[in-house]
Amino acid sequence: MPGSCALPKFMMLCLAACAGVWAMPSRASAQEASERSSFAELLREAETKTAAKEWKEAAHLWARVVQANPVNPEFWNALGDAHSQAADYLAAVPAYEKALALGGPLPAKAAYNIARCQALAGKKELALQALERALTLGFPSLGFAARDEAFQSLRQEPRFKKMLGLTDASNMPRVEGWRSDLALLAREAHRKGFNVHRSVTREQFDAKVRELHGAIPRLTDGQVILGLMKLMVFLDDGHTAVLNFGENPFFRSMLPMQFYWFDEGLFVISADPKHKELLGAQVLELDGRPALEVLEALTPYVNRDRGNPVWPKQRTPYMLRNLALLQAAGLIKSSGQVTLTVRDLSGAMRSVVATSDTTQPDIWNTLPNPPSWVNFASTLGTPPLYLRSMNKRYWFEYLPEHKAVYFQFNSVLDDEKEPLASFTERLFQFIGQNDVGKLIIDMRWNNGGNTALSQPLVRGLIGNRKINQRGKLFVIIGRRTYSAAQNTATYIERYTDAIFAGEPTGSSPNFVGEESLVVLPYSKLVANVSHLFWQSSWPQDQRIWLPPHLYTPPTFADFRTGRDAALDAVLSYPPAF
């Protein structure tokens, strides 16, 4: 009948006839199963020989693997690696070429490996061509290539030096030297930075480069550095920046104290013992200029993701230590000392002359502060949990009165005594064997590491039916939650039923990241141009940060009394049913 979904009679007969054939095991299917089993054994044997570094045997086995399965770029790459490690360089080249043609695993790395093999085989011209292709494809690190012993035979080649930015700037006049550094930084931005989507165009970026190029003769060295910092900020991602370390003296001398921007204003939270009387003091002015005005004036020099407005609250208090930077920006009078107007804990106001020194130029990843310093938290008697062990990468404690596990996750890096994967396994074992009603993951101090290392944690949370429920799983985040920590927090939000507390993260759910540093030859400044787009959230996610459900911005009133508003909000959250 018209419109009927019944099969025509002749098709029914055909299917009935075929059904008998499909139901009977055949020699062909048995043979295919045997071949699949044989391939699995072959692959396992190739991986075993690779792990044992028996490279000639591994190369022979990987050649059989790619013959059986020629469509997987990882297999071709493994064949190239085995040939290369066995010093059969010219045999490695076609394997890497095939991996490159198939788009993986990392095309720029495959092209780079071809360059290495050609150089080690004595094929200089082919090596230079391959290296140029690798850089065009976005191979990230000029410094890595410059140090690679495989290119020993190329180091005196002018093309090699030009490709890797190995300019001899020792005798350059000042203006020429700065312009040379600017040109290299701009070249790196074009080579890597625009391989991902940007909110600015190449033409807009080039206009900024031309503007700074023309201004260099009129600027002091400090002002040129600020110009380079603003140029990197213009690219609108949190990892692309002129970094505050290296050989340039601009970043070598700092105030020996640490500031934090609370809701009430700017406060000293740790310092060299010679300034211990400033602990807990509110900084009102620097050389007569309001402290918050100075902080706001530094914001245009802060690289950030999608214009995230909370990240400068994390970064500018660190920048405030650099008096040379403040003077170059016209915010204070001297690059060596500053008059701070402070209000101490008793409410008394006074002026203090603070001098910069070279004892602790970079404290960014030293938590809570350099060991020789004193901090305000130590004056609290028993510091709250969130301030107790900031120097540990991860740790947890059971809170029996709340039936809760507090897990402070400060770095997405392995601890040498217990890798993160092993720690994660121990954490979930404890949760499974004890009366745990809440898991609280505190990531407010975590500014990143290696995203791959957090995957066992994320998978464990997804699969843990006991704790992956609304009202049982919580994550505390904050302005320092960034980079690999941002990715991890985003994965937890995307794949679990976690509730977030604290303040917004310092990055955005989808962002441009990765670091491959370049040292500018004339100034010795260290810079980075990010090249990898992390889409850890959904493609349409345009949020500037990961927001908390329970908003508890840090206040000095809480800090002074040792209260943790974020943890209190989590512990008082109604239990799940």
Q: Does 137 lie in the same domain as 230?
A: no
Nearest to 275 by CA among 334, 360, 382: 360
* Domain contains 515: no
* Domain contains 356: yes
Name residue 31's amino acid.
Q
Q: Does 125 lie in the same domain as 83?
A: yes
> Pick from 247, 269, 297: which residue ends a domain?
247
Q: Does 348 lie in the same domain as 455?
A: no
Q: Does 397 lie in the same domain as 360?
A: no
Within 10 angstroms of residue 166's Cβ, the number of other Cβ atoms is 15
Q: Does 410 lie in the same domain as 330?
A: no
* Domain contains 527: no
Within 10 angstroms of residue 350's Cβ, the number of other Cβ atoms is 11
d(CA 440, CA 499): 9
d(CA 573, CA 577): 12
> Pick from 163, 191, 208: which residue ends a domain?
163
* Domain contains 514: no
* Domain contains 525: no
**CA 263 → CA 131, 259, 300, 505, 557, distances in Å?**
51, 13, 21, 16, 9
Q: What is the largest CA-CA distance in the chain?
A: 100
Q: Does 437 lie in the same domain as 413?
A: yes
Q: Does 272 lie in the same domain as 370?
A: yes
Which residue has 């908003």 as its token pair?
A: 551
CATH for 483: 3.90.226.10
CATH for 260: 2.30.42.10
* CB contact at 8 A, 104 and 73: yes
CATH for 59: 1.25.40.10
Q: Regarding beta strands 473-477 and 438-442, do their DSSP bridges make them parallel or antiparallel, or are they unpaired?
A: parallel
Kindly state the helix (H) or strand (E) to which residue 406 belongs, with its residue range: strand 404-409
Q: Does 548 lie in the same domain as 408?
A: yes
* Domain contains 4: no
pLDDT of residue 438: 97
* Domain contains 22: no
Both tokens assigned to 180: 């040379």
Q: Does 551 lie in the same domain as 474?
A: yes
Residue 493: give the domain boundaries: 382-508+543-571
Domain count, the chain: 4
Q: Does 354 lie in the same domain as 257?
A: yes
Q: What is the pLDDT along the chain (577 residues), one digit of tens a residue?
A: 444 344 333 333 333 333 333 344 555 565 555 656 799 999 999 999 999 999 999 999 999 999 999 999 999 999 999 999 999 999 999 999 999 999 988 899 999 999 999 999 999 999 999 999 999 999 999 999 999 999 999 999 999 999 999 989 989 999 999 999 999 999 999 999 887 778 899 999 999 999 999 999 999 999 999 999 999 999 999 999 999 988 999 999 999 999 999 999 999 999 999 999 999 999 999 999 999 999 999 999 999 999 999 999 999 999 999 999 999 999 999 999 999 999 999 999 999 999 999 999 999 999 999 999 999 999 888 899 999 999 999 999 999 999 999 999 999 999 999 999 999 999 999 999 999 999 999 999 999 999 999 999 999 999 999 999 999 999 999 999 999 999 999 999 999 999 999 999 999 999 999 999 999 999 999 999 999 999 999 999 999 999 999 999 999 999 999 999 999 999 999 976 5
* CB contact at 8 A, 61 and 69: no
Name residue 171's amino acid.
N
Q: Does 152 lie in the same domain as 184?
A: no
Q: Does 566 lie in the same domain as 470?
A: yes
Q: What is the pTM of this model?
A: 0.89
d(CA 208, CA 221): 18
* Domain contains 3: no
> Pick from 198, 223, 247: which residue ends a domain?
247
